[in-house]
A and B are shown apart, each in its own frame.
Chain A
């Protein structure tokens, strides 16, 4: 149980996917102009990550021992098709949630954080429960980073900023400062 909490906190704060591994930067810079959408995208991310964790565990357990060179191809295909499947299932079963996630559900198929999660958790040799907990932590971390950046960006809209800094340059510098704050968590655990 202790181990699971460590995995969760480590993925959430210490090894935050966006701020220390630089995964999923496209949505991080692209859709954080509004807090509301950033939060929804984060939720969609958590959702897909958990499903990916389950699929990659199954692949790793039953398929890949026979064909290790298929790892990348099978992961990416399984992720893409499972997102598609989840999208259809969600549309039928829970239209409210489907509407809340909107366009972001299909978009995150090509998000490198998802494939990164599958690769990292199999590299670390996580089992089923550990994998799901890791996915929850990583997804929560991505959501946290998205919400933090979006919140700061909403405030900067009212400021008088020189033209040359506006846009991606400013976002990257803000992200750098947030990332610097997250470096403070680095000493939280020493053995994870």
Chain B
């Protein structure tokens, strides 16, 4: 592998983490991002499950990219994704029934996460398996990171704890609204607002320094 390919690989890996972050920038895969992030551990489990499905299906789609007829490609992708989701579903049910119960139907709903189908269509079907794996890893980690951020904020404010460990003691009055559905909308809304503020400020600073 020459240096050109190495730097291309690094770009592919890094863009999912921040510049094209699936949740915070592209606003994809919203349903799981909001539905299961009422605690940090649920968010992490959901993120890792999606990461696994994304990487395995990207790899497989990329391997078969010249064999899948163009007309039925979406169906083929969905069948591949659904297969891996079924595997994750059964694995979680066997090894960690508590989390499986908490996440409920949302594990199954990874099938229709537009982020995963989107990566197959936009990247995996056009690139070599190695690149597809890197892209999936970057996007999956970016997704997990964003979910974890939302989960941490909601758990700290909503239950006064982090990963189940009490942070503030008995005097803390939890903001119950943050673990309820509206809290999900608010947290992501204000995160996006903060990111907008940050990007606009850095653009302005660049203009000032001319």
Binding site for B on A (CB under 8 A): 19-26, 29, 69, 71-73, 76-77, 80, 110-112, 114-116, 119-120, 123, 163-165, 167-173, 175-177, 179-180, 183
Q: Which of B143-200 contact A (CB under 8 A)?
A: 177, 180-186, 188-190, 192-193, 196-197, 200
The interface residues of chain A lying within 8 Å CB-to-CB of B197 are 164
Given contacts A73-B86, A183-B181, contact A169 B190 (CB under 8 A): yes
The interface residues of chain A lying within 8 Å CB-to-CB of B35 are 21-23
The interface residues of chain A lying within 8 Å CB-to-CB of B189 are 168-173, 175-176
Lowest 9 CB-CB distances: which A-B pairs, in order? A176-B185, A172-B189, A25-B30, A169-B192, A173-B189, A22-B35, A180-B182, A164-B196, A179-B182
Counted as pairs of residues, one from A and one from B, with CB atoms less than 8 Å apart, the total is: 112
CA distance A23 to B34 in the complex (A): 10
CA distance A88 to B109 in the complex (A): 27
Q: Which of B78-106 contact A (CB under 8 A)?
A: 78-79, 82-83, 85-86, 89-90, 105
B198: nearest chain-A partner, CB-CB: A164
User: Once the chains bind, are B111 and A72 in contact (CB under 8 Å)?
Assistant: yes
Could you write out 14 A-B pairs with CB less than 8 Å apart?
Answer: A20-B181, A22-B35, A23-B31, A25-B31, A71-B86, A76-B111, A77-B78, A112-B113, A115-B112, A123-B105, A164-B196, A173-B186, A179-B185, A183-B181
Indicate whether B68 reaches chain A with its CB closer than 8 angstroms. Answer: no
User: Once the chains bind, are B186 and A176 in contact (CB under 8 Å)?
Assistant: yes
User: Once the chains bind, are B89 and A72 in contact (CB under 8 Å)?
Assistant: yes
A170: nearest chain-B partner, CB-CB: B189
Neighbour of B117 across the interface among A19, A77, A110, A183, CB < 8 A: A110
CA distance A10 to B27 in the complex (A): 29
Given contacts A22-B35, A119-B105, A164-B197, contact A69 B182 (CB under 8 A): no
Binding site for A on B (CB under 8 A): 27-28, 30-31, 34-35, 75, 78-79, 82-83, 85-86, 89-90, 105, 108-109, 111-114, 117, 177, 180-186, 188-190, 192-193, 196-197, 200
User: Once the chains bind, are A26 and B114 in contact (CB under 8 Å)?
Assistant: yes
B79: nearest chain-A partner, CB-CB: A73
CA distance A164 to B193 in the complex (A): 6
Q: How far is the CB of B30 from chain A (nearest CB, A)?
A: 4
The interface residues of chain A lying within 8 Å CB-to-CB of B183 are 176
User: Once the chains bind, are A163 and B182 in contact (CB under 8 Å)?
Assistant: no
The interface residues of chain A lying within 8 Å CB-to-CB of B34 are 22, 25
CA distance A135 to B76 in the complex (A): 28
The interface residues of chain A lying within 8 Å CB-to-CB of B75 are 77, 80
Known: A21-B35, A22-B31. 18 other contacts (CB 8 A): A19-B181, A23-B31, A25-B30, A25-B34, A26-B30, A71-B108, A72-B86, A72-B89, A72-B108, A76-B78, A80-B75, A110-B114, A110-B117, A163-B200, A169-B196, A172-B186, A176-B183, A180-B177
Q: How far is the CB of A88 from chain B (nearest CB, A)?
A: 16
User: Once the chains bind, are A80 and B78 in contact (CB under 8 Å)?
Assistant: yes
The interface residues of chain A lying within 8 Å CB-to-CB of B186 are 172-173, 176
B35: nearest chain-A partner, CB-CB: A22
User: Once the chains bind, are B185 and A175 in contact (CB under 8 Å)?
Assistant: yes
- Quick one: which of A20, A120, A175 has the most chain B CB within 10 A? A175
The interface residues of chain B lying within 8 Å CB-to-CB of A19 are 181
Q: How far is the CB of B184 from chain A (nearest CB, A)?
A: 7
Q: How far is the CB of A178 from chain B (nearest CB, A)?
A: 8
CA distance A123 to B49 in the complex (A): 21
The interface residues of chain A lying within 8 Å CB-to-CB of B83 are 73
The interface residues of chain A lying within 8 Å CB-to-CB of B180 are 183
The interface residues of chain A lying within 8 Å CB-to-CB of B105 are 116, 119-120, 123
CA distance A114 to B31 in the complex (A): 13
Given contacts A72-B82, A73-B83, A76-B82, contact A112 B181 (CB under 8 A): no
